[in-house]
Structure 1
Amino acid sequence: MKNMIVRRVQSFEEWRVAARGLIASGVPPAAVQWQSAAHDGDLFSSAMEEVSDDAPADAPALRLPRQLVELLECAACYSAVDRWAFLYQVLWRWQRGEHDVISPADPDGARLHGMVKAVHREEHDMHAYVRFRERKEADTDDAPRFVAWFEPTHDVLPQVARHFARRMGAISWMIATPTATMLWDGATLHAGPALLKGAADIDDHGEALWLTYYRSIFNPARVNAGLLRSHIPSRFWKNLPEGAIVPAMITGATNGERRTGQTATVGQRSGATTIPIRPERALPQRETLTTLQQCRRCALWQHATQAVPGSGPQPASIMLLGEQPGDQEDLAGLPFVGPAGAVLEQAMAEAKLSRDSVYLTNAVKHFKWEPRGKRRLHKTPAQREIAACHAWLEEELERVQPEVIVALGSTALKSLLQDGTATLQSVLGTPFQHQGRWIVAVYHPSYVLRAPDETGRREAYAVMVEGLRQAIKLLEDGQHNRVS
Structure 2
Amino acid sequence: MSGGVGGAGVPVLAQSFAQWRDAARTLLARGVAPESVQWIAAPDGGDLFAGADSVADRVADSAADAGPTNAVAIRLPRELVELLECAACCRVPDRWALLYQVVWRWHGGDRAVLSPADRDGARLHAMAKAVRREQHDMHAYVRFRERDAAAGAPRFVAWFEPSHDVLPQVAQHFARRMGKVSWMIATPGLAALWDGSALQIAPSALRGPSDIDDAGEALWLTYYRSIFNPARLNAGLMRSHIPSRFWKHLPEGAVVPQMVSAAALGARRTGQTETVGQRDGAIIAIAAERAQPQRAAPVALDQCRRCPLWQQATQAVPGVGPAQAAIMLVGEQPGDQEDLAGVPFIGPAGALLDRALAEAEVARLSVYLTNAVKHFKWEPRGKRRLHKTPAQREVAACHAWLEQELARVQPRVIVALGGTALKSLLQDGAATVTDKLGVPFQHEGRWIIPVYHPSYALRAMDAASRADAYAVIVDGLRQARALAGSDTKPA
Tell me the TM-score normalized by structure 1.
0.51
Aligned to 2:37: 32
Residues paired across the two proteins, number: 275
Distance 1:15 1:27 in 2: 14
Deviation at 1:262, TM superposition (A): 10
- What does the per-residue CA deviation read over 1:16-75, in whole Å, with 9 as the maximum and x for residues that have no partner? 11101111110001111112221799xxx99x9973289977622211111111110000
Aligned to 1:148: 158
Aligned to 1:225: 235
Aligned to 1:52: 56
Residue 162 of structure 1 pairs with residue 172 of structure 2: yes
Residue 87 of structure 1 pairs with residue 104 of structure 2: no
Report percent identity of matched pairs. Answer: 63
SS of 1:211's partner is helix
Distance 1:283 1:156 in 2: 48
- Structure with higher Rg: it is 2
Distance 2:87 2:194 in 1: 25
Deviation at 1:288, TM superposition (A): 8.9
For 2:214, give the aligned amino acid.
D
Indicate if the aligned counterparts of 2:8 and 2:38 stay in contact, CA closer than 8 A: no
For 1:189, give the aligned amino acid.
L
Deviation at 1:203, TM superposition (A): 2.2
Aligned to 1:5: 11
Distance 1:283 1:18 in 2: 69
For 1:250, give the aligned amino acid.
V
Structure 2: gaps (5+ residues):
1-6, 60-67, 280-291, 297-302, 313-491
- What does the per-residue CA deviation read over 1:316-336, in whole Å, with 9 as the maximum and x for residues that have no partner? xxxxxxxxxxxxxxxxxxxxx
For 1:16, give the aligned amino acid.
R
Indicate if the aligned counterparts of 1:133 and 1:202 stay in contact, CA closer than 8 A: yes
Aligned to 1:128: 140
Aligned to 1:376: none
Q: Residues 163-182 of structure 1: matches in 2 within 5 Å?
A: 163-182=173-192
Indicate if the aligned counterparts of 1:17 and 1:53 stay in contact, CA closer than 8 A: no
- What does the per-residue CA deviation read over 1:272-299, in whole Å, with 9 as the maximum and x for residues that have no partner? xxxx989x958999x9998xxx9x99xx
Q: Specify whether residues 39 and 202 from structure 1 end up closer, same or farther in structure 2 by C-alpha distance, changes over 3 A only.
A: closer
SS of 2:201's partner is strand
For 1:26, give the aligned amino acid.
G
Distance 1:163 1:70 in 2: 17
Aligned to 1:16: 21
Deviation at 1:123, TM superposition (A): 0.5
Indicate if the aligned counterparts of 1:131 and 1:149 stay in contact, CA closer than 8 A: yes
Distance 2:91 2:208 in 1: 24
SS of 1:182's partner is strand
Deviation at 1:260, TM superposition (A): 8.4
Q: Specify whether residues 93 and 22 from structure 1 end up closer, same or farther in structure 2 by C-alpha distance, changes over 3 A only.
A: same
Aligned to 1:189: 199
SS of 2:246's partner is helix
Q: Specify whether residues 259 and 74 from structure 1 end up closer, same or farther in structure 2 by C-alpha distance, changes over 3 A only.
A: same
Q: 1:61 aligns with which of 55, 58, 73?
A: 73
Q: Residues 340-359 of structure 1: matches in 2 within 5 Å?
A: none
Distance 1:150 1:282 in 2: 44
- What does the per-residue CA deviation read over 1:119-176, in whole Å, with 9 as the maximum and x for residues that have no partner? 111011111111111121x2x4211111111100000000110011111111111111
Deviation at 1:221, TM superposition (A): 1.4
For 1:109, give the aligned amino acid.
G
SS of 1:131's partner is coil
Indicate if the aligned counterparts of 1:181 and 1:192 stay in contact, CA closer than 8 A: yes
- What does the per-residue CA deviation read over 1:218-256, in whole Å, with 9 as the maximum and x for residues that have no partner? 221111111111111111111210000011111122334
Q: 1:110 aligns with which of 108, 119, 122?
A: 122
Distance 2:54 2:270 in 1: 66
Distance 2:270 2:97 in 1: 55
